[in-house]
């Protein structure tokens, strides 16, 4: 028989762990779970490996072979910079998929209620779920960008890689993480308010497809702008993320999740 202590009614309230630590534990658990999910890692690996190789072989190599003038070389350099964004956004879609399942999917499986029954705050649970969706995607984005750079260097050659402006590469790469967070936050928010994973995925797709299209358009438009404006866009996107996260976490209630059963 296990130790069953009598209830001591003079005992003070349990000391709860800090909100940050709780958030991190929830995020780490969700991230590890996603990294072990076969469907998620298969899809993410395809995006992280096939997309950069496809872009380099199918799009940039013909451009590189034809870039025999200074103007064509400059155009190739810009194109290589813009594809830093596209290559990063492929695996970032994994974050939205994971986020679509964090509430609705777990609710369907019945493993959400035990977490909601703990004293962890609404903010910790929501932020932990978003962070847990984003971490695996960031890892796959890093992998995709690394494969992209290695493919540029090996397939097009180091001379072509040297054409890529560091400033353009950095600003395009810097756009990817905040776009991923934006997608994951919106997706998690939708997921917490619908009954099923499929409904969450569908609603997320409807809500985010135009937003992602717009952001890719902005990325393309930024290729010819100065680095100041590009960095301002990144900063603006980070600010938008913080605002959305704050609004979503502030209005999210575990009550809502339990009510939509």
Alpha helix ranges (H) inside the chain: 19-36, 38-45, 51-54, 61-66, 70-102, 104-109, 113-116, 122-151, 158-161, 166-191, 197-222, 227-251, 254-259
According to CB under 8 A, which one of 10, 12, 15, 68 is a site residue for another protein? 15
* Residue reference for tokens 């009550």: 255
Which range in 46-54, 60-68, 108-116, 209-217 contacts another protein by CB under 8 A?
108-116
SS3 163: coil
* Residue reference for tokens 């964004």: 85
- Indicate whether 7 belongs to the interface with another protein (CB under 8 A): yes
Which range in 24-32, 43-51, 192-200, 242-250 contacts another protein by CB under 8 A?
24-32
Residue 197 tokens, joined? 């994973």
- x/- binding map, residues 118-157, to another protein, per CB under 8 A? xxxx------------------------------------
- Indicate whether 33 belongs to the interface with another protein (CB under 8 A): yes
Q: Which is nearer to another protein, 52 or 132 (CB)?
A: 132
Tell me the C-alpha to C-alpha distance, in Å, between residue 83 and each of 80, 149, 174. Answer: 5, 11, 13
- Give the footprint of another protein on residues 225-254 (CB under 8 A): 254
Interface residue list for another protein (CB under 8 A): 1-7, 13-17, 22, 25-26, 29, 32-33, 36-37, 109-121, 254-255, 258-259
């Amino acid at each position: 028989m296990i130790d069953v202590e009598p209830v001591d009614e003079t005992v003070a309230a349990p000391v709860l762990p800090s909100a940050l630590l709780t958030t991190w534990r929830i995020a780490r658990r969700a991230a590890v779970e996603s990294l072990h999910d076969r469907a998620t890692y298969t899809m993410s690996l395809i995006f992280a490996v096939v997309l950069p190789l496809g872009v380099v072989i199918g799009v940039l190599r013909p451009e590189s072979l034809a870039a025999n003038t200074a103007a064509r070389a400059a155009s190739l350099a810009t194109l290589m910079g813009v594809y830093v964004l596209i290559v990063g956004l492929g695996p970032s879609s994994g974050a939205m998929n994971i986020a679509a399942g964090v509430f609705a999917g777990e609710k369907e499986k019945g493993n959400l209620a035990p977490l909601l029954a703990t004293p962890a705050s609404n903010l910790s649970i929501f932020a932990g779920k978003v962070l847990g969706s984003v971490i695996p995607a960031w890892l796959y984005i890093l992998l995709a960008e690394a494969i992209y750079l290695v493919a540029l260097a090996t397939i097009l050659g180091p001379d072509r890689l040297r054409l890529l402006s560091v400033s353009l590469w950095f600003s395009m790469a810097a756009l990817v993480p905040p776009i991923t967070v934006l997608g994951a936050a919106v997706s998690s928010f939708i997921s917490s308010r619908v009954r099923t994973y499929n409904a969450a995925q569908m609603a997320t797709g409807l809500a985010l497809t135009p937003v992602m299209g717009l952001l890719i358009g902005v990325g393309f438009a930024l290729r010819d702008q100065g680095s100041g404006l590009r960095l301002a866009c990144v900063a603006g996107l980070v600010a938008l993320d913080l605002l959305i996260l704050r609004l979503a976490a502030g209005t999210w209630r575990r009550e809502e999740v339990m009510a939509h059963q």
